[in-house]
């Protein structure tokens, strides 16, 4: 236990829902981190990995379990743990130098040492010559370098990185990643361990010694994968590709479970507690067409099609999941395969597509079926938004309920299943013609 | 590139540069001015009465200086108040429950009516000295800015980006350092803008509060306001014109020496930078920034300032996060009860005070008078809308025109409308017009600009693509106004109209009663009612008048403006 840099003991975290009950977002997380490791937390958005990072940073407290840093429990921001933020979190009114000095000033060091350490950090991270620039004058990549320098100059033992490259374009992200890895391998960084949160599978395999794969509802670790490939790693190596494929399989196998079919003999409202992904019908059509077309012919490898469509995993998964929900496709073992309906959809014209979509929507999305039934039962075919929102909020957090309702409105509009007026906030069967 | 500029400037002669000379000159003149104007503060009140005001124009610079100093002091006080009050409201959930609604009410209360009450209080603080009366005047200006500023800063504090807050916490900045490194800078641009916008209101108050008579005590502080009051008494139109001229110069100096440098300086604190908009500039700021003497003097101060960041109110190791809120329900409940009881107690106090000397019919009468004033406000806002919305849209959609018009309008807006009253009033007297109608426009003289400014801002914020679409589809004439211009400026218009209507209520206290020498003009309305009660020193009626006016303002805001605002935000806000 004493050689552990960081140890997380069965941590749980929850946030309050609208009805006063708690929504569990992290369930029984255990993690041990040793000196000299880069550990990756990989998962879809909403799997609680950023929440875990905030617990370690001392920005929040778990409802149960402990975060131990070098044998002491973390109860607030601890000295020796620094963080790099996804959106950089630079102070726009401070120059590069002043931003980097911020953490040192808070340590109460003498002025000369503050300056010397800040300049050394700026030098190390390749920001020479930019000392007096303001963040707004810099490109995204340079801004994140400031973020790195600011975290490194306080000489932390653990560096927390919250999707540090995801706000950058592909080329800039690659450069920054490589520069960081080079410094790390050469032992030039004053840190003992790194915890990296990411949703990008290749990034995790490129950088980490160990990857913890997270799943959702509630967030928990489903697999731990050791990466033994020597640095520097290449994306083209077969071993690298195998590892990526393996993680894809792990992530699709358990996160996407086919929901039950709605049948009329079950009681009304069954299955509406499902949180729906906000995916546009256009994105779904696009993926169906891509998979149906050459060279895939109705079946494609997810990592392959992700890179062919230049989509991030985090953007591709929800679309694939929505297709599975509507039975346009099946997902298994890292592959996506169109169903018969999916193939029909790919062939059909605009009107037929809408009909198909409506059929699948009302058959497989319980919430859509529920709203449709309520509207039909009412004499004037109108119902207020509040009515369904309240129902949803019994099962999920308030913002998830709003997202779910918005998603179903988007699909229903495409399918012309029912109408919604944002001005009066009512659902109806009206069809403006 | 900026990076190529060396950080330390070592080249050039070591002597004094012209920047230094200018900066020293500026600083010295400000010091002399402050010393000169504050010399009289500790004089006994009797001294003030022995040297009566003179209408000779050569005294005006001194009077102007003293008015300006009052303004400056009030600004500093408002700023301190803002930092403390807003921070308390934003940091403590319980304090917030009381402080924010209180601010909301204070913003709607016509403080002008309260001047008389506060004069008595402040005079008792420093009996027999000028200081007490000065305090009262300064407090009046303070009330015209402080609520606004505190509210604006509170809102800024609530919207500090989460990731910056988290960064400040992970790097373990002390609360003191977080305030000065994060929260205060984030709120600064908005705050300065707010200060500038409430300037006209403040000048209005400073002028109104210099010559006050409560019952049979009359206090006249030397200043532009009392100069004008004397000029009115003596029907001296020439002196009024002199005063207007002096006011113009004072506002110009304030703008050039204080606000323009502040705005230019605060530009670096802006969180999001609009592309293509030139940063504001100020020659004063340039002079100060270029001067090495200023740099030499300010550097140790800045160093000292940074030293304070090492202080920590709590022990550094003990920085901890609040545990998840589980308990505290009982404490919350107790707190709620405490607040309600306190509010009821206050209500009861006011009710007994007023009811002791006021009958129900009197209260009904005040309500009726309030209705008259309400009618005036509605008509005036409608008229101002008809005039300024089209002009604002035209100005806003023509950047060249805006560049030219904006500074002029800003200048006019900062001008205290009550300085112009004597001219209008003398005209009404000479032409024998009906005061019920012709005094009314004075109410909106100073507040109409809010509508213009906001509409101009809204029109210039219309994305150029949207305008291009209009041109491309040949949307012209009334259709263009109906479908593009008016919806786009609507949310901005509502914001401006809310401010204008609130200000007009306040101005009615000064605008519904006016005099020219011995002639008294009076319109029927709540403002006149409060003004009369003030003059008679009739406190129950002052309180009644103010309570009724606050009631009207709050009800109109809640039932009309606020729903309209949310509707506009939902439906028409771009982006």
CATH code for the domain in which residue A350 is found: 1.10.10.10
One domain, residues A238 and A295: no
Same domain membership, residue A347 and residue A309:
yes
**Inter-chain contact A91–B185, Cβ cutoff 8 Å?**
yes
Same domain, A146 and A244: yes
Please give, rounded to a whole number of angstroms, the shortest distance from the CA of B305 to a CA of chain A.
12
Same fold, B58-277 and B336-575: yes
**Shared domain check, A160 and A104:** yes
List chain B residues with CB under 8 Å of A424: none
What residues of chain B lie within 8 A of the CB of A106, using their CB? 171-174, 177, 309
CA distances from B266 to B188, B200, B285, B320 (A): 7, 21, 11, 33
Scanning B184-321, the segments in alpha helix (DSSP H) are: 184-197, 199-209, 224-233, 237-254, 260-266, 283-290, 292-308
Closest to B171 (Cβ–Cβ): which among A103, A131, A134? A103
Q: Cβ B321–A106 below 8 Å, yes or no?
A: no
> Which among A364, A383, A398 is the end of a domain?
A364
| B9 or A87: which leads in pLDDT | A87
A245 burial level (CB within 10 Å; 0-12, 13-18, 19+): middle
Residue A266 lies in a domain: no
**Are A146 and A196 contained in the same domain?**
yes
Instruction: Give me the residue from B7, B174, B319 closest to A131, CB to CB.
Output: B7
Helix (H) or strand (E) holding A13: strand A4-16
Structural domain ending residue among the three candidates A334, A364, A394: A364
Across the interface, whether the CB atoms of A150 and B171 are under 8 A apart is answered yes
Residue A227: inside a domain: yes
Interface probe, candidates B1, B7, B168, B172, chain A, greatest A C-beta count within 10 A: B172
Mean pLDDT of B372-390: 93
**pLDDT at position B382:** 94
Mutation target vs A (from B3, B161, B171; most A CBs, 10 A cutoff): B171
Mean pLDDT estimate for chain B: 79
Alpha carbon of A203: minimum distance to chain B alpha carbons (Å): 23
User: In which residue ranges of chain A is pLDDT below 70?
Assistant: 1-3, 17-21, 253-271, 431-433
Alpha helices of B92-236 — where are they, by DSSP H? 93-108, 115-125, 130-158, 162-170, 175-178, 184-197, 199-209, 224-233
More confident residue, B305 or B63: B63
- Is the domain spanning B58-277 CATH 1.10.3720.10? The answer is yes
Q: Closest by alpha carbon to B378, among B545, B508, B199?
A: B508
Contact B163 A85 (CB under 8 A): yes
The tokens for B548 are 């009724």
Q: Give the end of a domain, one of A311, A338, A364.
A: A364
Q: Chain A interface residues facing chain B, Cβ-Cβ under 8 Å?
A: 54, 57-61, 63, 75-77, 79, 81-83, 85-89, 91-94, 102-103, 105-108, 111, 129-134, 136-137, 150, 154, 423
Give the per-residue pLDDT at A11. Answer: 86
> Looking at residue A219, what DSSP letter applies?
B
**B9 shares contact with chain A (CB less than 8 Å):** no
Looking at the DSSP assignment, which residues form a beta bridge with residue A34? A4
Does CATH number 1.10.3720.10 belong to domain B336-575?
A: yes
**How many A×B Cβ pairs under 8 Å?**
99
CATH code, domain carrying A29: 3.40.50.300
Pick from A60, A62, A87, A89 the residue to mutate for testing the B interface (most B CBs within 10 Å): A89
Pair (A58, A188) in one structural domain: yes
pLDDT for B406: 74
Residue A258 lies in a domain: no
Quote helix, strand, coil % in chain B, to nearest 5. 80, 5, 20
Crossing angle of helices B448-460 and B399-414, in 10° steps, is 160
CA-based nearest residue to A33, from A164, A216, A178, A159: A159
pLDDT in tens, B224-273: 888 888 888 888 888 888 888 888 888 888 888 888 888 888 887 877 65
Tens digit of each residue's pLDDT (9 = 90 or more) over B175-204: 888 888 899 998 888 888 888 777 767 777
User: How far is the alpha carbon of A72 from chain B, nearest alpha carbon, in Å?
Assistant: 13
Contacts of B326 in chain A (CB under 8 A): none
- Torsion over CA: B187, B189, B191, B192 (sign): positive
pLDDT at B458 over 90: no
The verdict on A88 and A237 lying in the same domain is yes
* Inter-chain CB proximity A132 and B3 less than 8 Å: yes
Cβ separation of B5 and A132 shorter than 8 Å?
yes
**pLDDT computed for residue B322 by the predictor:** 46
Taking only the tens place, the pLDDT of each residue in B272-290 is: 655 555 667 777 788 777 7
Q: Locate the chain A residue with the closest alpha carbon to B306.
A: A105
Contact A93 B7 (CB under 8 A): no
Q: How confident is the model at residue B320 (pLDDT cuts 50, 70, 90)?
A: very low
Q: Are residues A128 and A239 in the same domain?
A: yes
- φ, ψ (nearest 5 deg) of residue A16: -70, 140
Q: Same domain for A73 and A164?
A: yes
Pairing of strands A426-428, A419-421: antiparallel
What was the pLDDT predicted at B374? 93
Question: pTM score, two decimals?
Answer: 0.76
Instruction: Tell me if A269 is assigned to some domain.
Output: no
Whole-number Å distance between alpha carbons of A376 and A372? 6
Q: What is the DSSP string of A361-393?
A: HHHH-HHHHHHHHHHHHSTT-EEEHHHHHHHHH
Residues A224 and A156 in one domain: yes
CB distance from B289 to chain A under 8 Å?
Answer: no
Q: State the residue range of the domain holding A398.
A: 365-433
Give residue limits of the domains in chain B: 58-277, 336-575
- Mean pLDDT check: name the lowest of A156-170, B73-87, B414-428: B414-428
- Residue A267 in domain: no
Asked if A92 lies within 8 A of B270 by C-beta distance, the reply is yes
Pairing of strands A210-215, A81-84: unpaired
Among A61, A78, A63, CA closest to A23: A63
Domain count of the fold of chain A: 3
Domain contains A261: no
Rounded distance between C-alpha atoms, residue B436 and residue B521, angstroms: 9
Residues A352 and A413 in one domain: no
Tell me what the mean pLDDT of segment B512-519 comes to.
80
């Amino acid at each position: 236990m004493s050689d552990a840099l960081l140890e997380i003991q069965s941590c749980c975290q929850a946030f309050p829902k609208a009805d006063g009950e708690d929504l569990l977002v992290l369930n029984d997380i255990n993690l041990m981190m040793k000196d000299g490791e880069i550990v990756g937390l990989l998962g879809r958005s909403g799997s609680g990995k950023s929440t875990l990072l905030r617990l370690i940073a001392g920005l929040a407290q778990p409802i149960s379990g402990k975060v131990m840093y070098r044998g002491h429990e973390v109860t607030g921001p601890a000295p020796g743990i620094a963080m790099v933020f996804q959106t950089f979190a630079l102070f726009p009114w401070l120059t590069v130098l002043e931003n980097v000095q911020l953490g040192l000033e808070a340590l109460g060091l003498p002025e000369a040492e503050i300056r010397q350490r800040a300049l050394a950090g700026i030098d190390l991270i390749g920001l020479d010559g930019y000392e007096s620039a303001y963040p707004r004058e810099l490109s995204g990549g340079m801004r994140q370098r400031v973020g790195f320098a600011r975290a490194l100059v306080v000489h932390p033992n653990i560096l927390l990185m919250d999707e540090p490259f995801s706000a950058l374009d592909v080329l800039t992200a690659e450069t920054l990643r490589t520069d960081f890895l080079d410094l790390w391998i050469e032992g030039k960084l004053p840190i003992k361990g790194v915890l990296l949160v990411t949703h990008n599978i290749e990034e995790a395999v490129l950088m980490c010694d160990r990857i913890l794969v997270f799943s959702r509802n509630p967030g928990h670790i489903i697999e731990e994968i050791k990466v033994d490939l020597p640095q520097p790693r290449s994306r083209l190596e077969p071993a690298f590709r195998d590892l990526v494929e393996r993680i894809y399989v792990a992530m699709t196998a358990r996160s996407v479970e086919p929901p039950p079919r709605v049948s009329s003999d079950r009681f009304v409202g069954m299955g509406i507690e499902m949180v729906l992904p906000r995916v546009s019908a256009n994105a779904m059509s696009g993926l169906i067409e891509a998979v149906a077309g050459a060279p895939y012919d109705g079946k494609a490898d997810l990592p392959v099609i992700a890179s062919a469509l230049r989509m991030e995993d985090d953007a591709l998964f929800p679309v694939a999941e929505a297709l599975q929900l509507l039975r346009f496709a099946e997902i298994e073992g890292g592959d996506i395969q169109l169903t018969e309906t999916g193939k029909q959809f790919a062939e059909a014209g605009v009107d037929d597509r809408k009909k198909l979509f409506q059929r699948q929507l009302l058959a497989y999305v319980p919430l859509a079926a529920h709203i449709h039934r309520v509207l039909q039962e009412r004499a004037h075919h109108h119902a207020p938004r509040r009515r369904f929102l309240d129902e949803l909020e019994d099962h999920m957090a308030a913002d998830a309920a709003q997202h779910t309702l918005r998603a179903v409105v988007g699909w229903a509009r495409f399918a012309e299943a029912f109408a919604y007026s944002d001005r009066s906030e009512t659902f109806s069967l009206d069809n403006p013609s | 590139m900026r990076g190529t500029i060396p950080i330390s400037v070592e080249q050039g002669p070591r002597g004094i540069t012209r920047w230094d000379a200018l900066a020293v000159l500026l600083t010295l003149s400000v010091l002399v001015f402050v010393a000169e104007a504050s010399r009289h503060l500790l004089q006994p009140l009797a001294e003030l009465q022995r040297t009566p005001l003179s209408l000779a124009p050569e005294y005006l610079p001194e009077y102007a200086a003293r008015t300006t100093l009052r303004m400056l002091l009030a600004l500093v006080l408002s700023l301190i108040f803002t930092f403390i009050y807003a921070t308390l409201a934003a940091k403590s959930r319980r304090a917030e429950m009381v402080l924010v609604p209180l601010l909301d009410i204070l913003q709607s209360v016509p403080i002008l009516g309260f001047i008389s009450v506060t004069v008595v209080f402040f005079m008792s603080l420093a009996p027999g000295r000028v200081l007490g009366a000065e305090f009262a005047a300064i407090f009046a200006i303070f009330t015209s800015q402080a609520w606004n500023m505190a509210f604006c800063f509170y809102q800024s504090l609530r919207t500090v980006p989460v990731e910056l807050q988290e960064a400040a916490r992970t790097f373990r900045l002390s609360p003191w350092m977080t305030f000065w490194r994060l929260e205060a800078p984030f709120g600064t641009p908005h705050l300065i803008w707010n200060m500038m916008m409430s300037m006209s209101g403040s000048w209005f108050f400073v002028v109104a509060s210099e010559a006050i008579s409560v019952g049979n005590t009359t206090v006249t502080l030397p200043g532009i306001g009392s100069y004008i009051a004397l000029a009115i008494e003596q029907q001296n139109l020439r002196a009024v014109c002199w005063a207007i001229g002096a006011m113009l110069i004072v506002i110009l100096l304030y703008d050039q020496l204080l606000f323009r440098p502040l705005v230019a300086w605060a530009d670096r604190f802006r969180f999001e930078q609009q592309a293509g908009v030139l940063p504001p500039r100020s020659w004063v700021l340039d002079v100060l920034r270029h001067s090495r003497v200023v740099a030499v003097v300010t550097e140790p101060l800045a160093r000292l300032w940074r030293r304070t960041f090492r202080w920590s109110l709590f022990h550094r190791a003990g920085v901890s996060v609040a545990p998840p809120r589980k308990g505290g329900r009982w404490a919350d409940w107790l707190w709620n009860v405490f607040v309600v009881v306190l509010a009821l107690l206050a209500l009861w106090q006011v009710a007994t005070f007023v009811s002791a000397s006021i009958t129900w019919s009197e209260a009904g009468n005040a309500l009726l008078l309030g209705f008259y004033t309400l009618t005036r406000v509605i008509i005036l806002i409608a008229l101002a809308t008809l005039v300024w919305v089209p002009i604002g849209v035209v100005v806003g959609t023509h950047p060249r025109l805006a560049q030219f018009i904006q500074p002029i309008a800003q200048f006019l807006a900062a001008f205290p409308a009550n300085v112009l009253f004597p001219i209008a009033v003398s005209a009404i007297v000479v032409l024998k017009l009906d005061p019920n109608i012709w005094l009314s426009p004075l109410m909106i003289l100073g507040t109409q600009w809010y509508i213009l400014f906001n509409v101009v801002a809204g029109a210039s914020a219309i994305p150029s693509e949207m305008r291009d679409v209009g041109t491309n589809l040949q949307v012209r004439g009334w259709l263009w106004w109906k479908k593009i211009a008016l919806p786009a400026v609507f949310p901005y218009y509502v914001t401006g109209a809310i401010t204008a209507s609130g200000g007009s209520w306040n101005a009615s206290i000064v605008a519904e009663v006016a005099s020219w020498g011995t002639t008294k003009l009076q319109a029927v309305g709540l403002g006149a009612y409060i003004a009369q009660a003030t003059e008679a020193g009739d406190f129950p009626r002052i309180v009644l008048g103010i309570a009724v006016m606050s009631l009207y303002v709050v009800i109109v805001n809640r039932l009309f403006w606020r729903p309209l605002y949310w509707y506009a935000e939902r439906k028409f806000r771009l982006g």
